[in-house]
Structure 1
Amino acid sequence: MAIILTGIYIYPIKSLAGISLNKSKVEEEGLQFDRRWMLVDENGKFLSQRTMGKMAQLQPEITPQGLQVAHRIGGEKLFIPLQAEGAPRQVTVWENTFEAQEVNEECNQWFTKKLGINCALVQLSPDRNRIAPEKYTGEDEVAVSFADGFPILLSNEASLKDLSDKSNTALEMERFRPNLVISGAEAWAENSWETIQINGITFKGVKPCGRCKVTTLNPKTGEPTGKEPLKTLSKLRNWKNNAIFGENLYPIEEGEIKIGYAVSIQNTKDNPVKTIS
């Protein structure tokens, strides 16, 4: 069976709602516009749905003029310019501290009001001064945006179905916040792909993706929905004490991808995650 690209998603502002696309440019840091902005607290630490589920209620949209964010509940909208206007500042994503640029004070005030916490909107620096963990990328120096660790996350429709069946829960793919979704592969095969190609663009598989409590939130509202899918996933697909769903990738070349493009498996590796039935 042919493996096909069936979903393309970007999350322009880290941990806000995602956008489904028919096509996307692939850049060094991942898909164009993906996680190029981020909200930080007064100390410069990134904000996340892990502790602030209401971030899911804020829906970004890419327009010809810039980025627009709408509040799903209240309907208020904010326009965000594509070029930041504020001062540089130090920000932190997990163990990485690096320089980003504040967008403007209007954005800071809008998000502070909506989230109920003093925060600022920052944009990725054009200097590309954040690098993915070398222990996984080897000799390749991989630029990464505000994503947790790597440029791209790939998920498999068959894996979602297997997890839904075993957890007796109708799970939405949006819970797992992938960039690329594929169909036509066996469940969980994605963790055994060392390199794949889409439209001549090579993507390298870095490591399985460990999942957090965000997968237990309603992706539209950010409200908790129970212990699933983590309860089942932690038993079904456990690696280094992490519940695994999806494979982290990085692109070797730049280019463009579209829904319906074929996914070619170039090289495989031993699947480090063993499925427990």
Structure 2
Amino acid sequence: MELKETVLKAFEQNRKAVLYTIGAGVALLGLGLGYKYIRKPKKLTQVGVVSQLILHPLKSGKGLQVATAECLRMGLKYGELRDRHWLVTTEDGQMVTGRQEPRLVLLTMTAEGGDLCLNAPDMEELRVPLGQPHNNIMNCRVFSADIQGRDCGDEVSRWLTRYLAAGKTFRMVHYEPEMKPRMSVKIESPFPADEEVAYPDTAAVMLLSEASVKDLSSRLDKDVTVSRFRPNIVVTDCEAFCEDSWDELQIGSVRIKRVMACGRCIFTTVDPETGIINRKEPLDTLKSYRQCDPSQKNIYKTAPLFGQYYIVKQTGILHVGEPVYKIREILTGVFSADIQGRDCGDEVSLWLTRYLAAGKTFRMVHYEPEMKPRKRVKVESPFPAKLVAYPGGAAVMLLSEASVKDLSSRLDKDVTVSRFRPNIVVTDCEAFCEDSWDELQIGSVRIKRTMACGRCIFTTVDPETGIMTRKEPLDTLKSYRQCDPSQKSIYKTAPLFGQYYIVKQTGILHVGEPVYKISY
């Protein structure tokens, strides 16, 4: 179910459900379980339109323009062909690209009827089976990284060697799904640790705008085309270099996230129409006005920036003509600390605003795993330098039923556990025993106490009615649950009720499990 539908359904049930749903959501995020969802936001900022989708099945080979393509974690796929999943090598497995053999850019690879079809100027078409499971697996080197590939056979080798006519033997290999990929982070440090590629230079997807190419052409004696820069997604209806600021995009059901710019090399000086390398333009012109910020010299060095590398956050189908939306992220403040959140959309905002009826507009945001979290130590100094999303202070708050019963015995009206919004509720113990439980084992989970939970006016909100009294049970708690004077710098006048824990060992929790205090 989409996030918006989940939220709205929970809200529509009753006011009590609203409070429990929001509290449970924060608790889950604090525990790091997260909420996995697939959604198409209703309101985004359109920044362009997809004008071309281009696969390069053979690394350095001619681009194949398609009207639709699957966008997978490791790049675009069209039928049996996947982007940069074939590679030309020397006999000992060293990669060969257009930098060394410029005429590779004229070599076309297609698939038809279970055959792999190779075409090049002045060469007869060669057809070989797409799958050749009995051929040898070769160990290859792509930019100093080891990777394997299935040899495409002697017939392909002879054809390539004859076409390139470089006085040496060439082979072709195919990357298969069960082979070990290259890790993008080992190629360029800005990439996440789990991003994988086959034979691309660095990333699964490269995006470029037509306007950026037009801007470059205006500075040259001869126009250049998009094909020279070998992108996968080409965008129109935008200004030049707008893509530099598109941190996250939605195209149909596909969501991609920008990691870094594409630093350009001598390969840009190969003419895709002739296969001739001039070793000067347009690279020299790019270097004159597309250098990185000095603070990024350790990443890009002297390479000019043109186009942007993206990772795929949500797979799906891409179509030429689809609008490209920039996804808006909201920077919000949680207890004076900045943190991001994915906006849940205008429909949720309208619903919330109407429900709360406070004369102002409200929005809802969702914390996602790749966003920068808050540091607990900046929320409360006793915490180690651990991380949280939107909780008040900690990943886990624990409270005993006996402590709530003790409090109720001092009030005119009983209160329930739900008023205090814990994550773990413990029974079969004395009131306030949790104050001394420094480290606990519950099944495979191990948690460590950091500090007490200092209570505020939120405890005076009745979870059954949503009405705030601003007095009880807070006043009664203040009368007998104050901190030790030595801790006034931490808790000030807040009464203590419940305990904050950090998670030392993750696992699955079950109602009914025994809670063990760990003693050292």
Measured against aligned partners, the alpha-carbon deviations of 1:246-267 in whole angstroms (never above 9, x if no partner) come to 0011211221111001111115
Aligned to 2:124: 76
- Does residue 220 (structure 1) correspond to residue 220 (structure 2)? The answer is no
Aligned to 1:183: 236
CA RMSD of aligned residues (A): 1.7
3-state SS of paired residue (1:80): strand
- Does residue 114 (structure 1) correspond to residue 163 (structure 2)? The answer is yes
Letter of the 2:319 partner, please give it: K
Paired with 2:88 and 2:266, the residues of 1 have a C-alpha distance of 19
Q: Verify the 8 A CA contact 1:7 1:259 in the aligned structure 2.
A: yes
Deviation at 1:177, TM superposition (A): 0.8
Structure 1 unmatched runs, 5+: 269-277
Paired with 1:106 and 1:94, the residues of 2 have a C-alpha distance of 26
Match of 1:31 among 70, 76, 89: 76
Paired with 2:70 and 2:128, the residues of 1 have a C-alpha distance of 21
3-state SS of paired residue (2:95): coil
Match of 1:199 among 232, 252, 258: 252
Deviation at 1:226, TM superposition (A): 6.5
1:1-277 aligned within 5 A: 2-32=47-77, 33-72=82-121, 74-85=122-133, 86-116=135-165, 117-130=168-181, 131-133=183-185, 135-139=189-193, 141-225=194-278, 227-239=280-292, 240=297, 241-267=302-328
Letter of the 2:152 partner, please give it: V
- Higher relative contact order, structure no. (Cα contacts within 8 Å, ≥ 6 residues apart): 1
Paired with 1:143 and 1:267, the residues of 2 have a C-alpha distance of 26
Q: More deviation in 107-116 or 203-212? A: 107-116
Paired with 2:283 and 2:318, the residues of 1 have a C-alpha distance of 31
Q: Verify the 8 A CA contact 1:203 1:249 in the aligned structure 2.
A: yes
TM-score, normalised on structure 1? 0.90
Aligned to 2:499: none
Are the structure 2 counterparts of residues 23 and 195 from structure 1 closer, same or farther at C-alpha, using a change threshold of 3 Å?
A: same
Deviation at 1:199, TM superposition (A): 0.8
Measured against aligned partners, the alpha-carbon deviations of 1:85-142 in whole angstroms (never above 9, x if no partner) come to 3111110110211222112221122112212331111010322522212622234x11
TM-score, normalised on structure 2? 0.49
Deviation at 1:10, TM superposition (A): 0.7
Q: Verify the 8 A CA contact 1:210 1:245 in the aligned structure 2.
A: yes
Paired with 1:80 and 1:187, the residues of 2 have a C-alpha distance of 42
Q: More deviation in 218-227 or 49-58? A: 218-227
Letter of the 1:65 partner, please give it: G
The percent of aligned pairs where both chains have the same amino acid is 27
Letter of the 1:20 partner, please give it: Q
Deviation at 1:217, TM superposition (A): 1.7
Q: Verify the 8 A CA contact 1:11 1:18 in the aligned structure 2.
A: yes
Letter of the 1:40 partner, please give it: T
Q: Verify the 8 A CA contact 2:261 2:308 in the aligned structure 1.
A: yes
Paired with 1:186 and 1:262, the residues of 2 have a C-alpha distance of 15
Deviation at 1:164, TM superposition (A): 0.9
Are the structure 2 counterparts of residues 167 and 220 from structure 1 closer, same or farther at C-alpha, using a change threshold of 3 Å?
A: closer
3-state SS of paired residue (1:252): strand
Paired with 1:65 and 1:101, the residues of 2 have a C-alpha distance of 17
Q: Verify the 8 A CA contact 1:199 1:257 in the aligned structure 2.
A: yes
Paired with 1:35 and 1:11, the residues of 2 have a C-alpha distance of 6
Instruction: Specify the structure having the higher radius of gyration (Cα).
Output: 2
Letter of the 2:173 partner, please give it: V
3-state SS of paired residue (2:97): coil
Q: How many residues align?
A: 266
Q: Verify the 8 A CA contact 2:253 2:315 in the aligned structure 1.
A: no
Paired with 2:128 and 2:287, the residues of 1 have a C-alpha distance of 39
3-state SS of paired residue (2:304): strand
3-state SS of paired residue (1:167): coil
Q: Verify the 8 A CA contact 1:84 1:123 in the aligned structure 2.
A: no
Deviation at 1:34, TM superposition (A): 0.8
Measured against aligned partners, the alpha-carbon deviations of 1:60-97 in whole angstroms (never above 9, x if no partner) come to 2232323211112x141111322233111110110211
Measured against aligned partners, the alpha-carbon deviations of 1:173-210 in whole angstroms (never above 9, x if no partner) come to 11101111001222112122221111121111111001
3-state SS of paired residue (2:163): helix
Judging by fraction of residues, say which structure has more helix.
2
Paired with 1:211 and 1:255, the residues of 2 have a C-alpha distance of 29
Paired with 2:304 and 2:191, the residues of 1 have a C-alpha distance of 21
Q: Verify the 8 A CA contact 1:206 1:249 in the aligned structure 2.
A: yes
Paired with 1:190 and 1:234, the residues of 2 have a C-alpha distance of 18
3-state SS of paired residue (2:314): coil
Letter of the 2:153 partner, please give it: N
